[in-house]
Amino acid sequence: MRKHIANLKSEDDEAEINLTPMLDVVFIMLIFFIVTATFIRETGLEVNRPDDNEAQVVQEDGAILVIIDSTDDIWIDNRIVDARAVRPNIERMHAEDPDRPVVIQVAKASSADTLVTIMDAARQASVFNISIASAPE
């Protein structure tokens, strides 16, 4: 009887798979994926870049046209506007006709800072339909 029990025990031992190495591997993989998991938090503004033809159509439809020239001056309605005055200007034009989108016509040499400032101003004036057009040659 004693032998029989010993036999049973050794058989049990053989049937069990040793999970330790697999556990080690799984844990190492888990740690690797936790460490490399980068939850990126880059804030930004959405950009709408229409086709060239589309931009032309939008302009003809009477969009709020904001022009940035190559010296980073901002033009609205054929007037140079200060960067801080962009928002009130867009707000006023938005109030006149809430359906008008904003089209920003960008000169090649102007800086990204000005572009983002105008996009931000338009969004603050609650115009979210903003298109970016490149200046005609």
Binding residues for other proteins, per CB under 8 A? 1-2, 5-6, 9, 19, 23, 26-27, 29-30, 33-34, 36-38, 40-47, 49, 68, 106-117, 119-120, 123-124, 132, 134
Question: Residue 106 Cβ, how far from other proteins at the closest point, in Å?
Answer: 5
- Provide CB contacts within 8 A for 120, sequence distance 6+: 45
Q: Which is nearer to other proteins, 43 or 53 (CB)?
A: 43
What is the C-alpha separation between 129 and 46, in angstroms, rounded?
10
Give, in degrees to the nearest 5, the angle at Cα 130 between 47 and 79: 125
Question: Residue 22 Cβ, how far from other proteins at the closest point, in Å?
Answer: 9
Chain centre to alpha carbon of residue 114? 18
